Amino acid sequence: MKIAIFNIHSWEKEYLETANAGKNTLKMLDAYLNIDTVKLAEGCEAISIFTEDDASAPVLDKLHELGVRFVAFRSAGFNNIDAAHAQKIGIRMVRVPEYSPNAIAEFTVAVMLALNRKLIRSHYRIMQMDFSLDGLVGFDMNNKTVGIIGAGKIGRVVAKILHGFGCKLLVYDIVEDPFLIKEYGIEYTDLDTLCKQSDIITLHVPLVEDTHHIIYKKRIASMKKGVMLINAGRGALVHTQDVIDALKSGQIGYFGMDVYEEEKGLYFEDHSEDILQDDIMARLMTFKNVLISSHQAFLTDTALKNIARITFENLECIEKGGTCINEICVK
């Protein structure tokens, strides 16, 4: 099969080539998929895309016209495709629902520790030959209350790791899992109680209508003063301007941000020669207690190997006409 791989990143190219093992003809494209670039898929039966590509209805219609029959996401999330329209015009879609929950969970905890123990500040200080410890006091994780919003594949690994630290774990989720209660001593609670009682709050719910801006002004006001907030879920789970206001007042004491509502066109790319146009990002970059990463939580060797392998397995499966467990179906 001939597959156009849109929006290829240098860090995934080798993994895709290895997983493909010469079976398919790959057309590696730097371009994002959108209405202007869609014609690059000409002659391909399948395309593969990532979270920032635009697979809206007009783009899908053009793909269909070009003879593309399959869209393979190299990600779990697929909110950038008009899935109902794709289904209607007969384009089948597949994704990688799970590639390494550990990768994201471990990164989440790394951010918690880096913020708590002020590791980035201390590193920069030492690079300036300043070996003082003033302003670097952290806190023990042991006995702290951590609120996990969403304990699915990723959130449960966060719970497992933090249980090992001796944290008290509160979870807000629409589904309760008795295993987590038994194994890690978690306590399911409502969102208000979680916000009121937690020293650290971490977000691992998908971005859906109910979770859009789940963290906003009123909810932040109900949290403990100086709370640590970590978002390695999706940018729009938090109202970023409300978080900035709370950082200014000290209501939020630490903010770890791996995802950003306006990350499209900014993240994953080198903008070091550009003038930053995003004033919200510019303000976030001024806080010493904010740790920003560029949607990096998933980026491990294990995750990249799995993404590449599952992407080609998915395509092989639907090409044969069978059912594929990773197919995106709209009811």
**117 noted as active-site residue:** no
| CB-based contacts of 29-33 (< 8 A; 24+ apart in sequence) | 29/4, 29/5, 31/6, 31/7, 32/6, 32/7, 33/6, 33/7, 33/59
Give least dist CB 13 to ligand NAI, A. 19
- Distance between CA atoms of residues 56 and 235, nearest Å: 20
Residue 316, φ and ψ in degrees, nearest 5:
-60, -45
Give least dist CB 61 to ligand NAI, A. 27
Q: Which of 95, 234, 239, 261 is catalytic?
A: 234
Residue 174 binds ligand NAI (CB under 6 A): yes
49 to 78, contacts with ligand NAI by CB under 6 A? 76-77
Closest residue to ligand NAI in the complex (CB): 152
Give least dist CB 269 to ligand NAI, A. 16
Listed ranges 160-168, 218-226, 228-236, 261-269: which one lies at the site for ligand NAI (CB under 6 A): 228-236
Residue 148 binds ligand NAI (CB under 6 A): no
Count of residues interacting with ligand NAI (CB under 6 A): 29
**Rounded (10°) CA dihedral 55, 58, 64, 70:** 10
103 to 142, contacts with ligand NAI by CB under 6 A? 104
Taking the least distance from each CB to ligand NAI, the nearer of 68 and 237 is: 237
Q: Binding ligand NAI by CB under 6 A: which of 80, 82, 147, 155?
A: 155
Q: Binding ligand NAI by CB under 6 A: which of 150, 235, 253, 256?
A: 150
Taking the least distance from each CB to ligand NAI, the nearer of 147 and 155 is: 155
- Distance between CA atoms of residues 307 and 91, nearest Å: 21
Residue 46 binds ligand NAI (CB under 6 A): no
**95 noted as active-site residue:** no
Build a one-symbol-per-residue string for 249-278: x at contacts with ligand NAI by CB under 6 A, - elsewhere. ---------xx-------------------
| Exposure of 211 in the CB half-sphere (CA atoms within 13 A) | 17
* Tokens of residue 10, six digits: 């240098």
Residue 325 binds ligand NAI (CB under 6 A): no
**295 noted as active-site residue:** yes
Residue 223, φ and ψ in degrees, nearest 5:
-80, 165
Question: What is the contact surface with ligand NAI in residues (CB under 6 A)?
Answer: 76-77, 101, 104, 150-155, 172-175, 204-208, 210-211, 232-234, 258-259, 295, 297-298
Enzyme catalytic residues = 234, 263, 295
